[in-house]
Amino acid sequence: MSKSRVLKQNLDKNKKGTNKWTILWFVLPALLIYVVYTLYPIIATFNYSLLDWNGASGISEFVGIQNYINLFADSSFWQALENNMLLVVVSVFIQIPLGLVMALVLFSDVYGKRLLNVVFFLPYLMSTIAIGLLWVYLYSPESGPINKIATFLGLGDFEWLGNADLAMLAVLIVIIWQFSPFYMILFKAAIVGIPEELYEAAKIDGASSTQQFFFVTFPALIPTIVSSSVLAVVGSLKSFDIIYIMTGGGPGNATEILGTYMYKQGFVNLNMGYASTIAAVMFIIAFIAVVIIQLIDYLRKKKGVFL
Amino acid sequence: MKLINLPKKICLYILVIGILLFTGYPFVYMIMTSFKSMKGFFLDPFSLFSGSLTLENYSTVFDMGIGSYFTNSLIITVLSVLLVVFISALASYPLSRIKFKLNRPLFLLFIAGMMVPMHATLIPIFLLTQNMGLYDSLTALLGPYIAFSLPISIFILTQFMGELPKELEEAAQLDGANHWNIFWKILFPNLAPAISTIVIYNFLYLWTEFIFALTLITDTGSMTLPLGLQDFYGEFTVNVPGLMAALVLASLPVIAVFIIAQERVVKGLTGGSVKG
């Protein structure tokens, strides 16, 4: 057998005969872990959501959709859902614009950009638990600097986290502090990607820097704005740590979000069935958000429209 | 020309100083407070520099065992990240380089995991961990940590591998190399940029992960750093400087890494979230 024939056989063997088993061996470790720790648990959650199941006694009983009926009549659930939506609104209308402003500042001719680059980004690098604890003390009515400033400005002092009307606002400020830098780096990456020629052409046409922003920079950033906005929905469903550590959902249920409410029902009250119902609803909302993301993405690519 | 720009400049600097105070002040407060004595703090909680600075809080925090939380976090984070890199690279090889029927559906199944809220898996994972006898040990975290890091890692690696030139493995195919050799000897060494992205992304996520640690670990000896901080909070209610010292220590490693490898970190973080 000539050498070239051996070579050809080898190539054919590799091209056609890629054995199903070979593929399986490569994918198997990932698939196994994914099935055990993600897919199975999701299915199990839906299954448990149909049970009246007290974790303390261990007795469970099939109740069909009763948990869902109870959930939709549960005012704490609606309060939590409302707060989750508030998180989304705040990230779309405050964090994303603030992130954009921060990114633009870093592209302006401001002095000390190297330092600003680091300081602006720092909050995003701290663990949420550390952030929560730090701000609990910043808000402290007795020794916290925020009240000191509020008093100095003549606003009076407040029991920030203990006041049902202020607690959510207080927590939202912390969330803005933590996540604006994240949007900042997204925008920085997007701005770097804008071709220099566009600005040059705009300058030749006599566009002022404001016009350059609205006619060159901003349109180029719309895809980033759209995808970050929709990602905010999923992000809000994943949030838990900051509320858990700062207020535990209180006072009352003023700062409750779905994540903390689910945890409370499942691991504090041991209503495993009811908690699973909340978890299942969270999954469904995330799923719907994803479908919407995909749809927007599809329309954008098909028709070239910016939604 | 210069004069017209002056008001604009002033506005810009007011804006910059405003943002700088908002983002930077909490850090200044945290660091300065961590060096104050309890007495100094209560006499004057707001001054940036109190008369006497002390390292006493840091030694207190070490005496209370922050070292053990640190070690636990380091072990579980490094181990998970290493395994994630290897497992996701393995899975991404056929997904990006071999054509087979389930190629696309399998890829989509994996990346759909990015959107799953942890809470939707929490109770079953809690029960599963108990049944496997892993509850309250550091190993309990390994499964969920890998599972929740896989989707983004497979996404990044599959995209990256898909863009590598076909010629890379063709010569090896002619020589009759098997898939394992092609993957391990030819492709894997070319993945460095994508791997650095997923290492940074997952390291940051796992170093700060809280909810799985909270549900699967109650034993102080197995606690990770975020869980340990929560524990300190319970014991330190009045010792604000002590808690601040703990927060500084917990945040330091990530901030140090960021300052040293700024561009890489930013790339790692955006690589994970900017799509198409």
Q: Which ipTM was obtained for this model?
A: 0.89
Give the three-state DSSP class for B53: strand
A102: confidence class by pLDDT, cuts 50, 70, 90: very high
Q: Residue B143's pLDDT is what?
A: 96
**Residue A60: strand pairing partners:** A53
- Asked if pLDDT for residue A16 goes beyond 80, the answer is no
A14: confidence class by pLDDT, cuts 50, 70, 90: low
Q: Residue B275's pLDDT is what?
A: 40
Closest CA–CA distance from residue A194 to any residue of chain B (Å): 15
How crowded is residue A9: how many other Cβ atoms within 10 Å of its Cβ? 12
Q: Residue B201's pLDDT is what?
A: 87
A242: confidence class by pLDDT, cuts 50, 70, 90: very high
CA-nearest of B24, B113, B69 to B253 is B69
Which architecture, in CATH terms, is B71-224+249-271?
A: Orthogonal Bundle (1.10)
- Between positions 71 and 100 of B, the ones with CB within 8 A of A are 87-88, 90-91, 93-95, 98, 100
DSSP per position, A233-300: HHHHHH--HHHHHHTTT-STTTT--HHHHHHIIIIIS-BHHHHHHHHHHHHHHHHHHHHHHHHHHHHH
- Asked if pLDDT for residue A33 goes beyond 80, the answer is yes
Report whether A60 contacts A53 (CB < 8 A).
yes
Strand A60-62 versus strand A51-53 pairing type: antiparallel
Residue A239 region by backbone torsions, left for phi larger than 0, else alpha for psi between -120 and 50, else beta: beta
- Asked if pLDDT for residue A292 goes beyond 70, the answer is yes
Taking CB atoms and an 8 Å cutoff, what residues of chain B touch A121? 258, 266
pLDDT greater at residue A179 or residue A22: A179
Q: Residue A7's pLDDT is what?
A: 57
What does the domain layout of chain B look like in residue ranges? 71-224+249-271
Q: Residue A11's pLDDT is what?
A: 53
Interface residue B107 vs chain A (CB under 8 A):
no
Interface residue B46 vs chain A (CB under 8 A):
yes
pLDDT greater at residue B64 or residue A73: A73
| Per-residue pLDDT tens digits for A195-204 | 888 888 888 8
Give every CB contact of residue B241 below 8 A, 6+ residues apart in sequence.
B33, B34, B35, B36, B37, B38, B40, B41, B57
Taking CB atoms and an 8 Å cutoff, what residues of chain A touch B244? 134, 137
Interface residue B251 vs chain A (CB under 8 A):
yes
pLDDT greater at residue B267 or residue A18: B267
Contact A241 B91 (CB under 8 A): no
A4: confidence class by pLDDT, cuts 50, 70, 90: low
CA-nearest of A103, A120, A123 to A174 is A123
CATH superfamily, with its number, for domain A74-270: MetI-like (1.10.3720.10)
Q: Residue A138's pLDDT is what?
A: 93
Give the three-state DSSP class for A54: strand
Interface residue B248 vs chain A (CB under 8 A):
no
Q: Which of A10, A119, A282 sits opposite B23 (nearest CB)?
A: A119
Q: Residue A18's pLDDT is what?
A: 62
Closest CA–CA distance from residue A255 to any residue of chain B (Å): 18
Q: Which of B124, B144, B183 sits opposite A45 (nearest CB)?
A: B124
Q: How many CA atoms does the CB half-sphere of A101 hold within 13 Å?
A: 17
Q: Residue B97's pLDDT is what?
A: 86
**Mean pLDDT along residues A6-18:** 55
Report whether B274 contacts A186 (CB < 8 A).
yes
pLDDT greater at residue B144 or residue A216: B144
Interface residue B154 vs chain A (CB under 8 A):
yes
Interface residue B155 vs chain A (CB under 8 A):
no
Rounded average pLDDT per 10-residue block, chain B, 276 residues: 68 91 93 86 72 84 90 96 96 89 89 92 95 93 96 92 85 83 88 89 92 95 93 84 93 85 76 48
pLDDT greater at residue A58 or residue A172: A172
Q: Residue A234's pLDDT is what?
A: 82
Q: Residue A13's pLDDT is what?
A: 52
Chain A residue with the nearest C-alpha to that of B171: A11
- Asked if pLDDT for residue A15 goes beyond 60, the answer is no
Give the three-state DSSP class for A19: coil
User: By mean pLDDT, which of A98-102, A226-230, B30-34 is the weakest?
Assistant: A226-230
Residue with tokens 């850090």: B27
Candidates A45, A111, A125: best to mutate against B (most CBs of B within 10 A) is A125
Contact B121 A289 (CB under 8 A): no
Phi then psi dihedrals of residue B228, to 5 deg: -65, -40
Q: Residue A10's pLDDT is what?
A: 55
| Secondary structure letter of residue B2 according to DSSP | H
Report whether A116 contacts A110 (CB < 8 A).
yes
Contact B208 A182 (CB under 8 A): no
> Exposed, middle or buried: residue A297 (CB in 10 Å: 0-12, 13-18, 19+)?
middle
- Mean pLDDT over all residues of chain A? 87
| Per-residue pLDDT tens digits for A146-178 | 888 888 888 878 888 998 999 999 999 999 999
Contact A44 B124 (CB under 8 A): yes
- The type of residue at B219 is D
Q: Residue B67's pLDDT is what?
A: 92
